[in-house]
Structures are given as C-alpha cells and as structure tokens.
C-alpha cells in the first residue's frame, strides 16, 4: 500500500507510481519491526522492509561508522558524531536506496532502470544496475562535473545529458516510464525505505538529541525521519531526535518557506551554489519536509559557499573528506550554537552524505602546502615545521 504524505490518498502498490495525484510524494505504511543480529543490514532490519535483498545485488552498503569528532566537539562544546556515508560502495548514502529500488524493479519484471540525478544517484544506480543485467540509463544535468561523469561512465550505463531545468526534469522523467521501465528518483517510496537504515544504525549506537540532514530534494530527510518514526512506533525509542534540515544559501526553497511559516515551498529561480548535490530548485519532498519539521519541532538553516568550504576543512581534520553538500551540516551547527538554538553538551549527529573525492573547491592553495626542489628538501621540511 502506498499512502500520500499530504492528502492521505491510498494507492495499490502494484500501480508503481511515485507521486500522488495531488503532486505530493507517496510513502509506504509505517512498519513495526524487530532488529535482528545479522551483519548484513538488509537481514538485520528485514522486518522493517518491504522486500528481501538478493545477496547478488549487495555491494556492502550500510554499516557505516558513526565517528566521534573530538576537535569540533571540544570547540563547540557539544558531543558531535559524524555518520560517515562516504564509506558506501559508490561513496554516498544513495546506495542504500538504490539497492531497494533495483530489487523492486526486478520484482516487477522490468528490463530498464532509469534515474534523474545531479551525479551521486546516477553513479549509484549505474553501479548497482549495470551489474544486475538491467538496461540502465541516467539523465544528468549538462553541466555535471568531470569527476562525477567519469565515475558514472565507468560503470557503463547509457548517459543522457539534459540541458534544462533540473526541477522540471524530475516530473518529466515520470512520463518516460513505460511497461519496461522502472524509474527511481530522489523521493521514490522504495528508495526512502532504504534510507531508513541510517536511522536504525544510529539507533543501534545511541540516539542523539539532534540529527542534522543536508537537504536537496528531501528524500534523505524523509527516509531518516521515517526510520526514527518506525523505531518509536515499535517501542524501541521514546523520543525522536530533533531534525535539522540544511540547505545551501544559493538554493534554499525549503529554508525560505520554513522561515516565513509557509506550508508550501516556492520554486527557486536560479540555483547558485558550489554544492551541486544539494541544488534542486523545486524539491519534490519539500512540502513534506516542512510538515515534518513542524511535527518534530525541527529547525532549518542555510549556509553560504564560504561557510561550507570552511566546514569541509574542519571535517577533514576529523579524518573525513566529504563533499561540500555534506559539509553544510557542520556549518549550520556552528551558526545554531552561536544563536543559542542548541544547548551546551547536546548530543548531535551530522550525516556526512558523500565523499569529497567527487569534487571540491577547498584544499587548493592551502597554507600548509609547500613547493620545494629535491636538492633543498631538508631545509624545506625544517621550514615547514617552524
């Protein structure tokens, strides 16, 4: 059964649709489950999931570290941990949702699997999809970075670079779905089911007061919160952590709507941010994120390019090289603490959504990088340590 997040309309699961007739995203029912003992996350959380994962599809997604961040914790006077999603097989959390979408496509007997992506989801769908034998095609923006496109192309899908509005492309893509084709997009119900496992893993270590979620289309936010909701429903936790959604200043339709107490987002006219993984101008899950922020007393914040570059370096100094889109969490945290919105000693988890190897701006011209000739190596090293 699929249920509309906004109007409550119900649809038969076999209809294979992702969006309600009212335009809002659909979700599966809230599951009630037990957490098992298995290492494999799909087995361990199986009673919360709508289908079984074939061992052959598994590339080792999930079970990512929840690392302490000693220097940031000390500096900010809180207990900060970083959920390191860069450790997934294609270096972003997207893998958790991709594998369930793939299993669903196979269950329905589809021959082709497609997605719309600024890069990370395309890489993930390509990696999992091509090896499964389905025909994979990905629609990416024409200005996608070289690093991202080279990863995608190596997996061997059909790549279609689209010139045009990325927000519209999401809805256009549904028109392409036919008898043979399954589409998995940022807010597809089965994808959201996969993202829940981030909440389950955090729960198994310990549930924080706050969870910080970089937000573009809203799928990650919706998945993580559905996970916590199900943990509450099945009696594993009494309290759901306070969610903090973070956007880039140059593309922050959810933030703006939240600030002005609107129930609906407005399309962002021209995204202008270096964090391309969070640049969806018309997030399909945006209204639902607003509703959940309201329901769980959440906060929404936006950060500038400079703030995210700075945060990216600080996270790297905790040993994790992340994307700019992932660094927005720590950047927002600093602002919220300064404004007294988060109390001293609070336990906070920030989700580090994807790897910095996929593209970054900082690091260049760093003050701790030196050039020297091999003949003067010793002098050079001595100078560096002065």
Q: Which of 20, 116, 134, 336 lies at the binding interface for Zn ion (CB under 5 A)? A: 20
Look up tokens 């959504």; give the residue. Answer: 353
Query: What's the token pair of residue 322?
Result: 């992340």
Using CB under 6 A as the binding rule, the residues of this chain from 52 to 81 that contact ligand PLP are: none
Using CB under 6 A as the binding rule, the residues of this chain from 260 to 289 that contact ligand PLP are: 277-278
Residue 217 in contact with ligand PLP, rule: CB under 6 A: yes
- 8 or 133: CB nearest Zn ion: 8
Q: What are phi and psi of 41, to 5 degrees?
A: -65, -30
Residue 323 in contact with ligand PLP, rule: CB under 6 A: yes
Q: Which of 25, 129, 208, 214 lies at the binding interface for ligand PLP (CB under 6 A)? A: 214
Residue 331 in contact with ligand PLP, rule: CB under 6 A: no
Residue 186 in contact with ligand PLP, rule: CB under 6 A: yes
Contacts of 27 (CB under 8 A, 6+ apart): 2, 3, 5, 189, 192, 222, 226
Compute the least distance from the CB of residue 340 to ligand PLP, in Å.
Answer: 27
Q: Which does 278 bind (CB under 5 to 8 A by kind): Zn ion, ligand PLP, none?
A: ligand PLP
Residue 245 in contact with ligand PLP, rule: CB under 6 A: no
Binding segment toward ligand PLP, per CB under 6 A, in 30-38, 141-149, 319-327, 341-349: 319-327
Q: Which of 216, 252, 312, 350 lies at the binding interface for ligand PLP (CB under 6 A)? A: 216
Give the integer Cα–Cα distance in Å for 327 and 248. 10
Binding segment toward ligand PLP, per CB under 6 A, in 133-141, 304-312, 320-328, 341-349: 320-328
Give the integer Cα–Cα distance in Å for 228 and 31. 11
Q: What are phi and psi of 375, to 5 degrees?
A: -65, -30
Q: How many residues bind ligand PLP (CB under 6 A)?
A: 19
Q: Which of 353, 356, 359, 360 lies at the binding interface for ligand PLP (CB under 6 A)? A: 353
Q: What are phi and psi of 70, to 5 degrees?
A: -60, -45
Residue 4 in contact with Zn ion, rule: CB under 5 A: yes
Give the integer Cα–Cα distance in Å for 138 and 150. 13
CA nearest 214: which of 346, 310, 332?
A: 332
Beta carbons of 342 and 348 less than 8 angstroms apart: yes
Residue 325 in contact with ligand PLP, rule: CB under 6 A: yes
Binding segment toward Zn ion, per CB under 5 A, in 15-23, 163-171, 270-278, 306-314: 15-23
Q: Which does 20 bind (CB under 5 to 8 A by kind): Zn ion, ligand PLP, none?
A: Zn ion
What phi-psi label fits residue 129: left (phi over 0), alpha (psi between -120 and 50 degrees) or beta?
alpha
Compute the least distance from the CB of residue 328 to ligand PLP, in Å.
Answer: 8
Q: Which does 7 bind (CB under 5 to 8 A by kind): Zn ion, ligand PLP, none?
A: Zn ion
Residue 224 in contact with Zn ion, rule: CB under 5 A: no
- Dihedral of the alpha carbons of 354, 148, 126, 21, in degrees to the nearest 10: 70
Neighbours of 281 (CB within 10 A): 19
Q: Which parts of 29-92 are beta strand (E)?
A: 66-68, 79-84
Compute the least distance from the CB of residue 219 to ligand PLP, in Å.
Answer: 3
Question: In angstroms, what CA-CA distances link 254 with 79, 112, 249, 272, 332?
Answer: 27, 33, 11, 15, 15
Binding site for Zn ion (CB under 5 A): 4, 6-7, 9, 20, 22, 24
- Residues of this chain that bind ligand PLP (CB under 6 A): 92, 94, 120, 186, 214-221, 277-278, 323, 325-326, 353-354
């Amino acid at each position: 059964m699929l249920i509309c997040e906004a109007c409550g309309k119900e649809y038969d699961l076999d209809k294979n649709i992702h969006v309600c007739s009212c335009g809002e995203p659909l979700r599966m029912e809230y599951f009630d489950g037990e957490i098992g003992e298995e290492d494999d996350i799909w087995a361990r959380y199986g009673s919360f999931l709508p289908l079984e994962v074939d061992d052959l599809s598994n590339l080792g997604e999930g079970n990512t570290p929840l690392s302490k961040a000693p220097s940031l914790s000390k500096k900010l006077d809180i207990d900060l941990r970083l959920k390191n999603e860069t450790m997934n097989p294609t270096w972003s959390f997207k893998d958790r949702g991709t594998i369930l979408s793939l299993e669903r496509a196979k269950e329905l007997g589809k021959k082709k699997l497609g997605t719309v992506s600024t890069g990370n989801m395309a890489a993930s769908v390509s990696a999992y999809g091509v090896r499964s034998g389905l025909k994979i095609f990905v629609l990416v923006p024409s200005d996608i970075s070289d690093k991202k496109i080279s990863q995608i192309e190596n997996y061997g899908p059909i790549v279609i670079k689209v010139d045009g509005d990325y927000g519209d492309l999401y809805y256009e893509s549904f028109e392409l779905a036919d008898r043979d084709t399954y589409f998995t997009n940022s807010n597809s119900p089965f994808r959201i089911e996969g993202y829940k496992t981030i909440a389950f893993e955090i729960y198994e270590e310990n549930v924080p007061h706050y969870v910080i979620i970089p937000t573009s289309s809203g799928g990650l936010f919706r998945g993580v919160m559905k996970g916590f909701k199900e943990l509450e429903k099945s009696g594993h936790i009494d309290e759901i952590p306070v969610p903090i959604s973070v956007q880039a200043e140059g593309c922050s339709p959810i933030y703006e709507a939240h600030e002005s107490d609107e129930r609906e987002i407005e399309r962002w006219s021209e995204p202008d941010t270096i964090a391309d993984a969070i640049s969806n101008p018309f997030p399909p899950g945006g209204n639902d994120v607003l509703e959940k922020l309201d329901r769980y007393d959440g906060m929404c914040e936006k950060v500038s390019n400079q703030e995210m570059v700075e945060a990216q370096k600080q996270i790297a100094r905790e040993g994790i090289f992340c994307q700019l889109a992932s660094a927005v969490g720590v950047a927002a945290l600093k602002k919220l603490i300064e404004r007294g919105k988060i109390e001293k000693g609070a336990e906070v988890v920030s989700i580090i959504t994807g790897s910095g190897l996929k593209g970054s701006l900082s690091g260049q011209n760093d003050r701790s990088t030196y050039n020297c000739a091999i003949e003067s190596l010793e002098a050079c090293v001595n100078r560096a340590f002065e």
